[in-house]
Structure formats: structure tokens, C-alpha cells
Amino acid sequence: MRILVTGSAGFIGFHLARRLLEAGHDVVGVDGFTPYYDRTLKLKRHEILAQSQSFTGCEAMLEDLPALQDIYGEGYDAVYHFAAQAGVRYSLENPRAYVDANLVGTFNLLELMRHKPPAHALMASTSSVYGANASVPFREIDRADHPLTFYAASKKANEEMAHAYGHLFGIPITMLRFFTVYGPWGRPDMALFKFAAALFEGRPLDIYNRGDMRRDFTYIDDLVEAMILLLEKVPPAPSRRQSAPSEIDSLSPTAPWRVVNIGAQTPIALMDFVAAIEAATGLRAACNFMDMQEGDVPLTHADTRLLIQLTGFTPRTTLQDGVNAFIAWYRAYFGL
């Protein structure tokens, strides 16, 4: 297949593109190499992908419609859309970046897909859309109408924009709600990377909400596996359905569109996460206990029954194995 991956120099896009190349697909990767975090890391990820002759890397911002139009050309068999301004906390500082990348950028991509639709588009959303939801685990069919950050609001808007385009123009779209993804080549603004950096530099770790937080940490290889399996699970248009969707299926009544959680379904307490990093590094952490950050939630917990129903897959990497793999990569990358 010919597959477009947006955000291919990012953490998740890089890993997914690498897996697609290994499986023999032709991959075109587009990334704007934004300065939100170290560009060198992004350049190195693209260098690895470029070792495959089946990879074409392009530098462009999604907001640049003519550039994106050139890359989109006659279209693709499938599209994975990851390029976005990510990060919950940064959306308090610079909300406009989220309007530009997530709203305008995603709109541009939808417009191109409208005229030359892929057989399936899979687009990144986030557990943050569950916002103030108190009922756990989070189910795709639950209402998610009370975002706590502008990041979450922009991702929820992406889900709705995709639904409208799916309904109007018949583009089959799966929205993927990710839960705190971690692993080698991870993001420097996320907890694992920040904690590792602090530990190796002998600084205390900033622990929010005094450690009273739990996250459904998802290992990158598990996430990639789930996304590869979902590629074949194209949401059917209403006229093509042989039976009614199951009661946990988020399939739209009017569009070839659904939302799927991808999480480990095992919330981990923050201090257990810290203990796993200590075990992996052999270093003892000093902790700087702080208050909850604005817009943060104390718990994320995925209900993954829909993922299992569709793919039979359930994440299997233990936290300690995943953290060990990250620390091994971190040491090699920084020559420690």
C-alpha cells in the first residue's frame, strides 16, 4: 500500500512509519519539524526512516496548503494523521499553536482527502478529551463534552470535523484516543524523559499533585501493533452494515466513523512509575512534591473492550520492561 504518515518525525509517527516500512509498504512522511522540542531528535528519527528506499520524507507545515497539496498529489491508500501541536500544559501558554496545527492543519488534510479519499484514515486523538469525566474506565460511547484544556478541545474538535467530513464525503475515519504513550525515541516534554534527564543530572524530580496521580501508560510497540491491526478495520458506511453495531461500538449512525481507545487498561500510580525508573537506572530519585497543574486530571483509565472486539489485541508490555527499554535507549542516545 501507499501510505501517508503526517508527523513522521514525531515520536509516534516515527515508530508507526518504521513498522509500515518493515511490513513492505511505501510510506510518504510529512513533518514540519516544529521547534516545540529539540529538532535534532526529529531529524534523527527521519534519518532512520530514510534508510529505507520505500520512504519519502517531506518537510512541510500542514497549514501550508499548497505544500500539502503537492505532497498529497493523487492521494493514498491510507492516511495516518499524527502531526499536531501536542502537550496538555503548553496549551495554557500558547493556545494559538493548537489552532494553527490542530484545527487549520487537520482541516487542510480533510479537504484534500475529500477530493481523493483514502480507503481508511486513522487520526490521532487523546484521552484528554475525556476531560472532567468521572466515570472510569473511560468508554468511547461516553459523552466527552467537558474538555479541561485547549489541547483537549482542539482534539475533540478534530473528532467532530472528521465526523462531518466522513458523513458528507464518505471518507472512512477512525479516531484513535491514545493514553500516555512512552518508549524509546520518546518526547522530551513528557514525564519519563524529564524524570530520566533529572535523575541522570542529579536533580530532583518534579512530582505533581504530590504523586497522587495515575496514568494508563501505554508502551509504544503495543500502540503501533494496535494501529496496524486497526488499518484493516475500516468503519463501514451505514448502507454497508450487515448487523447493528455492538453496544460498546462508537460507530456513527450516519458516517463511516468511529473512535477507539488505545491504552494498557492498567492505571499506574505515579510513584510506582518513579520506582520503575529507579529500578531501570539503579539511581535513587529525590522528589520535589508540587501541587496539581491546571488542566491536569488525577486519573486516566482506558476501557479497551472495543479495541479487543475489533482486533483481538490487548497491550502486553509490562511497565518495567517498557521503562527498561526506554532507559536503555536513553543511555545509548546520550552516550551515558
Ligand X SMILES: NC(=O)c1ccc[n+]([C@@H]2O[C@H](COP(=O)([O-])OP(=O)(O)OC[C@H]3O[C@@H](n4cnc5c(N)ncnc54)[C@H](O)[C@@H]3O)[C@@H](O)[C@H]2O)c1
By CB under 6 A, is residue 4 in contact with ligand X?
Answer: no
151 counts as catalytic: yes
Stretch 132-171: interaction string toward ligand X, x if CB under 6 A = ----------------------------------------
Contact 315, 218 (CB under 8 A): yes
**What would the grid cell of residue 51 be?**
534508510
Among residues 108, 290, 67, which one has the least CA distance to residue 191? 290
8-state DSSP, 138: B
Q: Which of 130, 151, 219, 330 is catalytic?
A: 151
Stretch 30-49: interaction string toward ligand X, x if CB under 6 A = -xxxx-------x-------
H or E stretch at 289: strand 287-289
Pick from 4, 7, 28, 259: which binds ligand X (CB under 6 A)? 7
Shortest separation between residue 98's beta carbon and ligand X, angstroms: 9
By CB under 6 A, is residue 263 in contact with ligand X?
Answer: no
**What would the grid cell of residue 175 be?**
479516531
Pick from 76, 80, 82, 208: which binds ligand X (CB under 6 A)? 82
Pick from 105, 118, 256, 263: which binds ligand X (CB under 6 A)? 105
Only segment of 57-65, 192-200, 237-245, 270-278 that touches ligand X (CB under 6 A): 57-65
Q: Could you give the CA distance from residue 224 to residue 17 in angstroms, rounded to a whole number?
A: 9
Contacts made by residues 303-306, CB under 8 angstroms, sequence distance 24+: 303/137, 303/138, 303/139, 303/140, 303/248, 303/261, 303/265, 304/261, 304/262, 304/263, 304/265, 305/248, 306/140, 306/248, 306/249, 306/250, 306/258, 306/260, 306/261
Only segment of 113-121, 176-184, 248-256, 297-305 that touches ligand X (CB under 6 A): 176-184
DSSP-assigned beta bridge partners for residue 31: 59
Shortest separation between residue 65's beta carbon and ligand X, angstroms: 11
- Does residue 179 come out as left (phi exceeding 0), alpha (psi in the -120 to 50 range) or beta? beta
Pick from 17, 27, 62, 277: which binds ligand X (CB under 6 A)? 62
DSSP-assigned beta bridge partners for residue 57: 29
Pick from 181, 260, 276, 319: which binds ligand X (CB under 6 A)? 181
By CB under 6 A, is residue 12 in contact with ligand X?
Answer: yes
- Residues serving a catalytic function are 151
What residue ranges bind ligand X (CB under 6 A)? Answer: 7, 9-13, 31-34, 42, 61-63, 82-86, 101, 105, 124, 126, 178, 180-181, 187
